[in-house]
């Protein structure tokens, strides 16, 4: 091995990295160039990989995470050292928290200098910093180990519970050369990167036995079930058993939200009343009130849980799991389905009937609210438009963030196909909007509709330039109510405006126009409908500044009770 540039018989670190990615079908890189990876991005493009270049690494990282979720292959994010790496790290940690597979590849300084803290350009011990924030972290020091490094990163990202992986590539690695034939042989095409994990037959039987005793069964589908791509198996489980189901936010559309057995419109009732709950790729975390308390009808006694998950340590994380079924969702659900014959007793009609009654009542109430046409628009009248657009274009991908904007979109906009809804996920993080939108458009070629609170949009707003640069079919709708949550807070002392308030009447539409996209302001549902339809028909990057009543909505949306001050008010 030498560090001179490669001759025709030789290859180098740059090419080995790119060849290893290509060999494993990883052909899109979400990146932000700079020392030491600028040439890697140029060479990647020359070698036929697609390089999507961002304005901030967090959004490149979010794009990689969304790509991982949408394709089941690890999304690749490439950054420079120290600050670029740190900017990407939030996305890596968020991907890991959400069980999305991605690999953050960052250039770094040489070990000799970093370990003696001698003050290199953008010096940082990146590997040590990344380790606690992701599923696995590796560094490659020698060109001949690049193949192994990338293979290990791929396996770590997608096998078992998926997550984020960090791969540290010191600058000098890229310029190392080695014999081209030996280099080629050093690369690994990963065989079966996410192997099936079959559940034990006795675990399946235990689950079936418990399910048979249920008087008020419920199936809860999480984003793990969407990710698993076991769409037909999941549908068969729901339909063969006749059990009502609830989708978590990103599991909406795994079965169409309009499905007869969807209990979404009777959510509180079914969570409170169910006696046996089947969790399919959903954790009993804060989003499900930890499986405890009033939400779960604690007064009616404890529930019994069947939990299907690939991670054995997820079991009993919050409450006792009576029947754990550990394995991949496809295999687990198939095994359960095999034990559910045509003579399976459907749930008692007093249970399904009570749910249907509540659903009818709530859906009628919702229809009345949606039919109103207040001036200015509120969340409901604006989302009624989005609801109808998505109904007409069920293949479009909906990206969604904000507080009220998130909660109302989730409950009002029905989804019809699997993996069409991307949102703030397990952390409730703001800033995923434009990164997720770019990846959704790039990976699927489908239209993307991003429904964004005005605060939420601000976290990634500069990436509208990226959307314009790559001419992506993304329609961003900013729900502009002049602030975080609402625009009505007042500083009691005068002077500066309140911390939650923005410039009134901000023209977000001009941001898109600045880069050659379409920017429109919509003050009525009719204007919003027209602008969205035009965006979908043209496929042009579009930003609609939708003016929403600044008094509409509530503090923190539906999670007001998590604000520490709420405890003081009790």
Binding status of residue 281 toward ligand ADP by CB under 6 A: yes
Under rule CB under 6 A, which residues in 147-176 are in contact with ligand ADP?
A: 161-162
Binding status of residue 250 toward ligand ADP by CB under 6 A: yes
Binding status of residue 484 toward ligand TPW by CB under 6 A: yes
Residue 425-454 contact track with ligand ADP, rule CB under 6 A, x = bound: -x----------------------------
What sign results for the dihedral spanned by CA atoms 24, 30, 36, 40? positive
3-state helix, strand, coil in the chain (%, to 5): 45, 15, 35
What is the rounded distance in angstroms from the CA atom of residue 446 to the CA atom of residue 241? 33
Interaction partner, residue 455 (ligand ADP, ligand TPW, none; CB < 5-8 Å by kind)? ligand TPW
Minimum distance, C-beta of residue 4 to ligand TPW, in the bound complex (Å): 46
C-alpha of 555 from chain center: 24
340 φ/ψ angles, rounded to the nearest 5 degrees? -110, 100
Cis peptide preceding 36, ω within 30 of 0? yes
Using DSSP's 3-state secondary structure scheme, residue 219 falls into strand
Strands 10-12 and 177-179: antiparallel
Binding status of residue 325 toward ligand ADP by CB under 6 A: no
Q: How many CA atoms lie within 13 A of 358 on its CB side?
A: 17
Binding status of residue 455 toward ligand TPW by CB under 6 A: yes
Number of CB atoms found within 10 A of residue 59's CB: 31
CB 206 within 8 A of CB 335: no
Under rule CB under 6 A, which residues in 187-246 are in contact with ligand ADP?
A: 222-224, 227-228
What is the rounded distance in angstroms from the CA atom of residue 436 to the CA atom of residue 440? 6
Nearer CB in complex with ligand TPW: 164/347:
164
The only residue of 15, 259, 283, 359 in contact with ligand ADP, by rule CB under 6 A: 283
Query: What are the counts of helices (DSSP H) followed by strands (DSSP E) for the chain?
Result: 23, 19
Q: Which residue is at the shortest CB distance from ligand TPW? A: 453
Question: Hey, what's the torsion of the CAs at 423, 426, 429, 434, to 10 degrees?
Answer: -30
Return all residues near 507 (Cβ < 8 A) that are at least 6 apart. Answer: 519, 521, 545
Number of residues lying near ligand ADP (CB under 6 A): 24
Nearer CB in complex with ligand TPW: 118/554:
554
Interaction partner, residue 228 (ligand TPW, ligand ADP, none; CB < 5-8 Å by kind)? ligand ADP
Nearer CB in complex with ligand TPW: 235/558:
558
The only residue of 136, 188, 251, 477 in contact with ligand ADP, by rule CB under 6 A: 251
Minimum distance, C-beta of residue 160 to ligand ADP, in the bound complex (Å): 8
Nearer CB in complex with ligand ADP: 320/514:
320
The only residue of 11, 400, 405, 437 in contact with ligand TPW, by rule CB under 6 A: 405
Closest listed residue to residue 165, CA positions, set 202, 139, 201, 193: 139
Residues facing residue 520 across a β-bridge: 544
Binding status of residue 553 toward ligand TPW by CB under 6 A: yes
Under rule CB under 6 A, which residues in 95-124 are in contact with ligand ADP?
A: 98-99
What is the rounded distance in angstroms from the CA atom of residue 78 to the CA atom of residue 51? 10
Under rule CB under 6 A, which residues in 378-417 are in contact with ligand ADP?
A: none
Only segment of 116-124, 351-359, 451-459, 467-475 that touches ligand TPW (CB under 6 A): 451-459
The only residue of 23, 287, 354, 462 in contact with ligand ADP, by rule CB under 6 A: 287
Which residue in this structure is represented by tokens 């604690």? 298
Binding status of residue 453 toward ligand TPW by CB under 6 A: yes
Cα–Cα distances in angstroms (integers) from residue 94 to residues 62, 99, 294, 380, in the given order: 8, 9, 29, 30
Contacts with ligand TPW, residue ranges (CB under 6 A): 402-405, 428-431, 453-456, 479, 481, 484-485, 553, 557
Kindly list the residues in this chain that would bind ligand ADP in the complex (CB under 6 A). 98-99, 161-162, 222-224, 227-228, 248, 250-251, 281-283, 285, 287, 309-311, 314, 328-329, 426
């Amino acid at each position: 091995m030498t560090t001179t540039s490669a001759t025709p018989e030789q290859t180098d670190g740059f090419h080995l990295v790119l060849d290893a990615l290509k060999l494993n079908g990883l052909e899109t890189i979400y990146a932000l160039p700079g020392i030491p990876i600028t040439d890697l991005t140029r060479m990647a493009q020359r070698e036929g990989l697609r390089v999507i270049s961002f304005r901030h690494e967090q959004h490149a990282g979010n794009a990689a995470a969304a790509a991982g979720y949408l394709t089941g292959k690890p999304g690749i994010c490439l950054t420079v050292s120290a600050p670029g790496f740190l900017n990407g790290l939030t996305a890596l940690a968020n991907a890991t928290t959400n069980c999305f597979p991605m690999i953050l590849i960052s250039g770094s300084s040489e070990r000799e200098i970093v370990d003696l803290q001698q003050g290199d350009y953008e010096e940082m011990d990146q590997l040590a910093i990344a380790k606690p924030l992701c599923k696995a972290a590796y560094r490659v020091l020698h060109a001949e180990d690049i193949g192994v490094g990338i293979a290990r990163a791929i396996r770590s990202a997608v096998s078992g519970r998926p997550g984020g992986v960090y791969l540290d590539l010191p600058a000098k690695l890229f310029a190392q050369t080695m014999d081209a034939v030996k280099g080629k042989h050093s690369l690994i095409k990963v065989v079966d990167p996410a192997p099936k994990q079959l559940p034990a037959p006795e675990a399946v039987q235990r689950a079936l036995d418990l399910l048979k005793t249920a008087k008020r069964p419920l199936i809860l589908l999480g984003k793990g079930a969407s990710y698993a791509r076991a769409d037909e198996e999941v549908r068969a489980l729901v339909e063969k058993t006749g059990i009502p189901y609830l989708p978590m936010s990103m599991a909406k559309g795994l079965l169409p939200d309009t499905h007869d057995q969807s209990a979404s419109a009777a959510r509180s009732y079914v969570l409170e009343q169910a006696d046996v709950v089947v969790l399919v790729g959903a954790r009993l975390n804060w989003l499900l009130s930890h499986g405890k308390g009033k939400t779960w009808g604690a007064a009616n006694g404890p529930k019994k849980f069947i939990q299907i998950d690939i991670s054995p340590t997820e079991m009993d994380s919050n409450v006792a799991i009576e029947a754990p079924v550990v394995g991949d969702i496809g295999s687990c659900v198939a095994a359960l389905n095999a034990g559910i014959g045509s003579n399976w007793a459907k749930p008692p009609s007093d249970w399904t009937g009570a749910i249907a009654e509540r659903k009818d009542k709530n859906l009628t109430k919702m229809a009345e609210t949606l039919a109103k046409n207040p001036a200015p628009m509120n969340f409901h009248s604006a989302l009624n438009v989005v609801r109808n657009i998505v109904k007409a274009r069920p293949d479009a991908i909906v990206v969604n963030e904000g507080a009220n904007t998130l909660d109302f979109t989730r409950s009002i906009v029905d989804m019809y196909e699997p993996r069409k809804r991307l949102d703030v996920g397990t952390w409730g993080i703001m800033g995923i909007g434009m990164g997720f939108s770019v990846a959704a458009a790039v990976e699927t070629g489908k239209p993307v509709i991003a429904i964004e609170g005005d605060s939420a949009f601000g976290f990634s707003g500069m990436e509208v330039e990226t959307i314009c640069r790559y001419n992506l079919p993304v329609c961003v709708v900013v729900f502009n109510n002049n602030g975080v949550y609402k625009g009505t807070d007042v500083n009691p002392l005068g002077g500066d405006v309140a911390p939650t308030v923005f410039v009134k009447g901000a023209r977000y539409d001009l941001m898109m126009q600045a880069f050659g996209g379409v920017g429109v302001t919509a003050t009525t549902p009719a204007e919003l409908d027209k602008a969205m339809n035009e965006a979908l028909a043209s496929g042009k990057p579009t930003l609609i500044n939708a003016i929403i009543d600044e008094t509409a909505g509530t503090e923190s949306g539906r999670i007001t009770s998590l604000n520490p001050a709420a405890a003081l008010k009790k």
